[in-house]
């Protein structure tokens, strides 16, 4: 009986051992899976160039500052158009004597103007991201994808200012529409700030 019990114990022991060593995806496999979902370098560059006419790209060190300015100029132009639509609403409200609405829109317009100035008149975000940083294909694809996402956010501004235009005659609705626009402005500013930290720690020549 004891020998039989001992034999039963021996046949049972391999079961948990087999379960314990069941293989899972290796770190290399997980990294490969993540990278497989990233756009190729050419795809990432082509998508971003569709937003920025004549975009030079960041591969050449000599072209990086030019490309960065191209990007920010387009952002500044799109946001300036949004501000122009706000100004038109202000003109309409001023003629109708709705001064409370004018004051509200003016606050949002000033916030937007500060963001526009950062895009247009300063090398904001340039040095930390691009200044002599060594960027291979993976890093280039990453910054192209990040910048493309930023460009995609600009459509939200145009939709939001449309809501402001529609709400101009209703003080409560106008406050709500402007709050959403202000939130977009703050979030875009935060994301652009985050851009300069994309490659923290990347080696330089």
98-132 residues labelled b (16+ CB within 10 A) or e (exposed) = beebbebbeebbebbeebbebbbeeebbbeebbee
User: According to the model, what pLDDT value does residue 72 have?
Assistant: 92
141-160 residues labelled b (16+ CB within 10 A) or e (exposed) = bbbbbbbbebbeebeebeeb
DSSP, collapsed to helix, strand or coil, labels residue 197 as: coil
**SS3 letters across 118-140:** HHHHCCCCHHHHHCCCCCCHHHH
Q: By C-alpha distance, which of 80, 64, 161, 89 is closest to 117?
A: 80
Structure tokens at 183: 């939130």
Per-residue pLDDT tens digits of the chain, which is 205 residues long: 444 444 444 444 444 444 444 455 554 454 444 445 556 888 889 999 999 988 989 888 778 888 888 999 999 999 999 999 999 999 998 888 877 889 889 999 999 999 999 888 766 555 556 666 778 888 899 899 999 999 999 999 999 999 999 999 899 999 999 999 999 999 999 999 888 888 877 666 5
| Cβ atoms of residues 135 and 99 within 8 Å | no
Q: Cα–Cα distance between 46 and 52 in angstroms, integer?
A: 10
Q: By C-alpha distance, which of 50, 203, 205 is closest to 139?
A: 203
| Cβ atoms of residues 83 and 181 within 8 Å | no
User: According to the model, what pLDDT value does residue 14 have?
Assistant: 47
| Cβ atoms of residues 182 and 108 within 8 Å | yes
User: According to the model, what pLDDT value does residue 160 have?
Assistant: 97
Find how far residue 9's CA is from the centre of its chain: 59
Q: Cα–Cα distance between 196 and 39 in angstroms, integer?
A: 21
Q: Cα–Cα distance between 105 and 99 in angstroms, integer?
A: 10
Q: Cα–Cα distance between 78 and 52 in angstroms, integer?
A: 11
């Amino acid at each position: 009986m004891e020998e039989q019990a001992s034999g039963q114990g021996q046949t049972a022991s391999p079961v948990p051992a087999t379960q314990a060593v069941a293989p899972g995806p290796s770190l290399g496999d997980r990294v490969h899976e993540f990278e497989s979902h990233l756009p190729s370098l050419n795809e990432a560059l082509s998508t971003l160039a569709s937003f920025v006419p004549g975009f030079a790209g960041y591969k050449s060190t000599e072209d990086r500052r030019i490309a960065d300015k191209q990007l920010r100029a387009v952002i500044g132009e799109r946001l300036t158009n949004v501000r122009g639509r706000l100004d038109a609403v202000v003109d309409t409200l001023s003629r109708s004597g709705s001064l409370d609405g004018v004051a509200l829109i003016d606050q949002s317009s000033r916030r937007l103007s500060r963001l526009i100035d950062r895009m247009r008149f300063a090398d904001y975000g340039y040095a930390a991201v691009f200044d002599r940083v060594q960027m291979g294909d993976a890093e280039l694809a990453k910054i192209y994808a990040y910048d493309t996402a930023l460009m995609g956010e600009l459509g939200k501004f145009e939709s939001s200012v449309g809501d402001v235009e529609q709400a101009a005659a209703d003080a409560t609705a106008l406050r709500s529409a402007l709050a959403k626009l202000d939130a977009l402005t703050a979030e875009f500013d935060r994301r652009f700030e985050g851009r300069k930290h994309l490659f923290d720690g990347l080696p330089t020549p």
